[in-house]
């Protein structure tokens, strides 16, 4: 993505601040084939809007999305869905209850007119086997399956047309803990076998650590820190990442993070703070943080937006 931005109008007028709600604000991220990038942040940070933009379910207000070097902005939803497929949180509500498992998995092949009927049958059976679904389930309905089996159906449906990117939006959070591990292991092994590329949206940092090569931390629509997962999660540099990790991972003293609490609440996205948006909650804030927005500093695969890490700053 390049400078991806999504604004929403609230009601019939712009909000009283005169500004629209900017749910995604200038997000530039890149992902190579076979890699997994996780987006983390509190609810309301914009990660769900970002995933909807990446799926073509909403059009950006500005900026562009590229897949394989080609811009995919303002293209038809169907064109988008050929290349980017979702696996959503709740496999029950995302599967049509009136269709059989075979019909559900075959749907994308029919929508995109891929293969003959016999070839589609063969593809459906092959992908069911790959995701660990018994062939006898082909004539079953979603209501006859367990939560884990339904999520396997959702994964099979996403993979059957061989998209370039899979957007996994909290793919295990509606499942029992024991089933969660099976689905994560399945996603990992499919990734290795098929060289898949995932954009992973999750609030569960242990899941993120297990699944991801890279992590991007989102706060009020902006990516405030990004880099290799091991570095961002084990040695976070941005005060928000440190606060987020310490608020979630207090049970892991090995991280040596300070006791920072995010208790002062998430700000109103309709009236984001001036300067650095995190400054009202930041324990390290400098005077200028309340008025001057930090620059985006990019070095290799690492990104940070924080005055503390801006060595070129003059004051
Ligand atoms: Fe804290 Fe200032 Fe860095 Fe923002 S720019 S995270 S307020 S130190």
Q: What is the Cα 277 distance to its own chain's centre? A: 21
**Cα–ligand 1 centroid distance for 154 (angstroms):** 40
pLDDT of amino acid 312: 77
Question: Closest residue (by CA) to atom 5 of ligand 1?
Answer: 306
Number of the ligand 1 atom closest to the C-alpha atom of 276: 4
**Cα–ligand 1 centroid distance for 238 (angstroms):** 8
d(CA 62, CA 111): 29
pLDDT of amino acid 77: 78
**Cα–ligand 1 centroid distance for 265 (angstroms):** 16
Residue ranges in the chain whose pLDDT is less than 70: 10-19, 74, 248-264, 313-315
Q: Is 275 in the pocket of ligand 1 (CB under 6 A)?
A: no
Number of the ligand 1 atom closest to the C-alpha atom of 238: 6
Render pLDDT for 107-127 as a digit per residue (tens, 0 to 9): 999 999 999 999 999 999 999
Of 87, 73, 88, 85, residue with least CA distance to 162: 85
pLDDT of amino acid 257: 46
Q: Which one of 238, 285, 304, 310 would you pick to mutate in the ligand 1 pocket, going by the greatest count of ligand atoms within 8 A of its CB?
A: 285
Q: Do residues 303 and 296 touch, judged by C-beta distance below 8 A?
A: yes
List the structure tokens of 163.
């998209």
Q: Is 278 in the pocket of ligand 1 (CB under 6 A)?
A: yes
**Cα–ligand 1 centroid distance for 291 (angstroms):** 11
d(CA 59, CA 5): 9
- Domains of the chain, by residue range, sit at 2-309
pLDDT of amino acid 313: 63
Q: Which one of 289, 295, 313 would you pick to mutate in the ligand 1 pocket, going by the greatest count of ligand atoms within 8 A of its CB?
A: 289
Q: Is 308 in the pocket of ligand 1 (CB under 6 A)?
A: yes
Question: Closest residue (by CA) to atom 8 of ligand 1?
Answer: 285
> CATH number of the domain at 2-309, please?
3.40.50.300
Question: Closest residue (by CA) to atom 3 of ligand 1?
Answer: 306
ipTM above 0.95, yes or no: yes
Q: Is 286 in the pocket of ligand 1 (CB under 6 A)?
A: yes
Q: Do residues 225 and 232 touch, judged by C-beta distance below 8 A?
A: yes
Query: Is the Cα dihedral 273, 274, 276, 280 positive or negative?
Result: negative
d(CA 188, CA 172): 13
Residue 148: helix, strand or coil by DSSP?
helix
**Cα–ligand 1 centroid distance for 292 (angstroms):** 10
Indicate the pTM of the whole model: 0.89
pLDDT of amino acid 308: 96
Q: State the residue for tokens 């869905």.
A: 81
């Amino acid at each position: 993505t390049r400078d991806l931005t999504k604004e929403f109008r609230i009601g019939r007028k712009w909000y009283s601040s005169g500004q629209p709600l900017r749910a995604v604000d200038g997000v530039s991220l890149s992902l190579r084939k076979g890699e997994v990038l996780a987006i983390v942040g509190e609810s309301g940070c914009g990660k769900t809007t970002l995933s909807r933009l990446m799926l073509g379910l909403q059009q950006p207000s500005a900026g562009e999305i590229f897949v394989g070097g080609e811009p995919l902005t303002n293209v038809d939803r169907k064109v988008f869905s050929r290349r980017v497929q979702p696996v959503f949180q709740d496999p029950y509500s995302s599967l049509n209850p009136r269709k059989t498992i075979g019909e559900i998995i075959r749907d994308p092949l029919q929508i995109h007119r891929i293969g003959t009927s016999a070839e589609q049958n063969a593809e459906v059976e092959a992908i069911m086997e790959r995701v660990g679904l018994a062939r006898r389930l082909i004539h079953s309905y979603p209501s006859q399956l367990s939560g884990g089996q339904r999520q396997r159906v959702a994964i099979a449906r996403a993979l059957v047309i061989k998209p370039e990117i899979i957007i996994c939006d909290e793919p295990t959070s509606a499942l029992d803990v024991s089933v969660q591990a099976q689905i994560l292991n399945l996603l990992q092994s499919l990734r290795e076998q098929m060289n898949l590329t995932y954009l992973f949206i999750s609030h569960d940092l242990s899941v993120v650590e297990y699944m991801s090569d890279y992590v991007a931390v989102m706060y009020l629509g902006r990516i405030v820190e990004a880099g290799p997962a091991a570095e961002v999660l084990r040695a976070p540099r941005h005060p928000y990442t440190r606060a987020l990790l310490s608020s979630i991972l207090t049970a892991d003293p090995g991280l040596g993070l300070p006791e920072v609490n995010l208790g002062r609440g998430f700000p109103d996205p309709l009236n984001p703070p001036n300067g650095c948006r995190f400054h009202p909650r930041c324990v390290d804030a400098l005077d200028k943080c309340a008025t001057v927005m930090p620059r985006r500093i990019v070095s290799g695969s690492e990104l940070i937006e924080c005055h503390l890490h801006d060595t070129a700053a003059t004051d």
